[in-house]
A and B are shown apart, each in its own frame.
Chain A
């Protein structure tokens, strides 16, 4: 197993119990969609993995390393192996595309090298290569705030890949994007995961997108896993357990139509 969460619990200082003893295993190279209503604890879960949010109890083990017990320096080294992609892109708006991309290497270079923007030649070459891969060659010197949403998310993806990670933690990658760009971004993330053999946990609230792009789906409700299975087993009954009572027939059918369209293309 690449990632093993056991008994992962998070209680916020306000007293809210965001995660209630979550157990989850993600094998190498598996892309997994985490769905669930707002406030179910999806964001908290992936932030507990790289300890942007400190878990209250339970353990996170990445490729044999117990993340939960690490000191500051070891945690920084462990974070290099986990790339994160954010809902609002979270690019440093006033830095250029290249600087944002190279910030993925911060864990590998010293402070003064990074301060003077002296990155190893290999890193810069990799940055050019990845920017070319996502079609942003011409944007290298643009400031991040001059880019469109889809372009920004591509930069966010490249930044995460620059870390040379084993696992991608993806938090609502499409929530700020239009439907077409959403699909392009999801496809890109999946292709890149396949090319590099990366595992990914993708938080997503668009059920149709989750079903279209991920083979494994995990449903989270009120801090507990209530569904874990292949995308094909996502029935209206399952959606009702995850989200509550609603007419789900349209959601499911929309997905099937989507897939039919996608196949010939």
Chain B
């Protein structure tokens, strides 16, 4: 924010100094040069014949995918229902574990900043750093293939998500409401139930429904590793090159996701 004087001694203001201006333009130029260099690098390692061929290949695939195998839907209802159940039960499991964890992790409600909070933060990070598909891969080995592995995979991945966003909401509450309830002589559990829980309820409901919505999508691929749901049919259809069936599965997944999104939007709207 340089202030200088003009020739007739009036104060003048500009956003940056001249050197600052050059630095900004220099940074843009460097960014552009880097982009060009990266493009060169990638293009040198691309087999362009395949790329030029892509539209033809794509068109060919699409042609083989249509019309969808409508009758195949009869086989799909059950796995689709399983998928929705995996997502819902997994989310409920994550809520049951994640909600108390959030209170143990939040700075203003944790029983111990030095011990319990770091342990909870570590558990949250561990849960979040592993994708559901990888959780499923491990759990299928432990529990064998099927829905149980899928539910646990979804649950373990979602615990961290729900706990993290909820503890952030707990840390952002209005402290004066807590003060007021404390001043009445309420015990700590009462302060939690009367001053903190009502404040985080909208955020918590929104987080849970949002996670359920994400889990519906994630549950559709868990079958690829044998953890139940519609992913198993997807893999079987791709392996046998049954493209019209693949299309049918896509349509069903799309429909389910649209419905779940509509539900979660409605719920979030209702709790605010």
A positions within 8 Å CB-CB of B: 50, 52, 76-80, 82-84, 86, 88, 90-95, 103-108, 111, 114-115, 156, 159, 163, 169
Contact = CB atoms under 8 A, between A and B. Distances in A.
A84 B183 contact: yes
Given A103-B194, A114-B190, A114-B193, A86 B180 contact: yes
A79 B185 contact: yes
Contacts of A156: 180
A92 B179 CA distance: 10
Contact of A90 (B177, B185, B189, B190): B177
Interface of chain B, helix or strand or loop or mixed?
helix
Given A106-B194, A111-B190, A114-B194, A93 B177 contact: yes
A103 B178 CA distance: 12
A103 B186 contact: yes
Given A52-B179, A88-B176, A111 B193 contact: yes
Contact of A52 (B182, B187, B194, B195): B182
Contacts of A94: 198-199, 201-202
The 3 closest A-B pairs by CB, nearest first: A107-B185, A106-B186, A90-B180
A86 B184 contact: no
B194 A95 contact: yes
B185 A76 contact: yes
Nearest to A50: B183
B121 interface: no
A87 B179 CA distance: 12
A80 B176 contact: no
Nearest to A76: B185
A88 B199 CA distance: 16
B193 A92 contact: no
A107 B184 contact: yes
A107 B186 contact: yes
Given A94-B201, A159-B184, 6 more contacts: A77-B185, A84-B180, A90-B176, A90-B177, A91-B180, A163-B185
A159 B195 CA distance: 14
Contacts of A83: 183-184
Contacts of A50: 183
Contacts of A108: 185
B181 interface: yes
A136 B176 CA distance: 23
Nearest to B182: A52
19 contacts: A52-B183, A80-B184, A83-B184, A84-B180, A86-B176, A92-B180, A92-B181, A92-B194, A93-B177, A103-B180, A103-B184, A103-B194, A106-B185, A106-B186, A106-B194, A111-B193, A159-B180, A163-B184, A169-B183
